[in-house]
Amino acid sequence: DTGVSQDPRHKITKRGQNVTFRCDPISEHNRLYWYRQTLGQGPEFLTYFQNEAQLEKSRLLSDRFSAERPKGSFSTLEIQRTEQGDSAMYLCASSSVPYRRDLDYGYTFGSGTRLTVV
Amino acid sequence: GQQLNQSPQSMFIQEGEDVSMNCTSSSIFNTWLWYKQDPGEGPVLLIALYKAGELTSNGRLTAQFGITRKDSFLNISASIPSDVGIYFCAEIKAAGNKLTFGGGTRVLVKP
C-alpha cells in the first residue's frame, strides 16, 4: 500500500464547469476525510465517511459540493458550477477506527488536488 | 467557534539555529498535534501530545502540552535546510476524528 492517493494532482477549470476529484485511501482504513486548504491557511474539514456512510458535513460544504464513497473504498468529491472562490487545495485523509494513540491515529493525508478556477 | 492561533506566522532560519513556535487555543484541548507540510504535499504528523505538561521529542523536534491545556510549543534544534516548510498545530476531536488546524508557521531559509 502506497498511502493515500489523490487524482488529479492539479486541475484548472473555467468558472461554471463541474469538476470531480478522486481519493483512494489506505486499504485497511475505514474512515475517509476531505479537507480544503486555501493559500496561507490550515486545512479545514469538509466531510467524512465511515465505510460508505457519510457521517458529517461541514457548513463549508455548500449545495454545489457532493461527496460519495459508494463501496466504502475510494471516494469522489464533485464541485458543480465552480466559482473562483473554490480555488484551493483539496486534501483527502484516511484513518482507522477505533483510533489508537499508539498508532498516532493512523491519520494519513494524500498529496492533494490543487484546483484553480479561472 | 474554537480558534487556534499560531505564532509567528513566518520565520527565517539559518542552518544550525534553534527555532521555536507556539500555538494557543480559545478553549481547553485534550490533544495537541503538530504537523509539517512541504510544498505541494499533504501534512505529515510530527508529534502528538496527550496530557497537560507532557514533553515529547522526535529527533531534533520537541513539543510540550501547556499545563493550562490551552497552548503548546514546538522547538526545532540545530535547524537544517529540510526543516523549511509550514508547521501546523491541530486538535483532533475524539468523536469523528476531525482535525482543526491553526493557520500555520511558515519556516523559510535566510538568504
Residue pairs spanning A and B at CB distance below 8 A = 62
Amino acid at A88: A
DSSP one-letter string for chain B: ---EEEE-SEEEE-TT--EEEEEEESS--S-EEEEEE-TTS--EEEEEE-STT-EEEETTEEEEE-TTSSEEEEEE-S--GGG-EEEEEEEE-TTT--EEE---EEEEE--
Residue B96 has pLDDT above 60, yes or no: yes
CA distance A56 to A77: 14
- pLDDT-wise least confident of A72-76, B46-50, B94-98: B94-98
- pLDDT-wise least confident of A20-34, A52-66, A83-97, B87-101: B87-101
Confidence of residue B29 (pLDDT cuts 50, 70, 90): confident
Is B99 close to A97, i.e. CB distance below 8 A? no
**B99, B106, B108: best mutation site toward chain A, by most A Cβ within 10 Å?**
B99
Residue B7 has pLDDT above 90, yes or no: yes
| A109 interface with B at CB cutoff 8 Å | yes
Helix H or strand E encompassing A117? strand A113-117
Q: Note the pLDDT of residue B98.
A: 85
Cα–Cα distance list, B5 to B13, B78, B94 (Å): 21, 25, 21
Tell me if B40 sits within 8 A of B25, measured CB to CB.
Answer: no
Is A109 close to B98, i.e. CB distance below 8 A? no
Residue B1 has pLDDT above 90, yes or no: no
List all residues of chain A from 56 to 85 with a beta carbon under 8 Å from chain B: 56
Q: How far is A80 from chain B (nearest CA, A)?
A: 24
Cα-trace Rg, chain A: 14
Is A33 close to B97, i.e. CB distance below 8 A? yes
Residue A65's nearest CA partner among A85, A93, A50, A95 is: A85
Confidence of residue A99 (pLDDT cuts 50, 70, 90): low
Amino acid at A72: G
Residue A101 — φ and ψ, nearest 5°? -60, -35
Query: When comparing pLDDT for A24 and A97, which is higher?
Result: A24
Task: Report pLDDT digits (tens) over B48-78.
Answer: 998 899 999 999 999 999 999 999 999 999 9
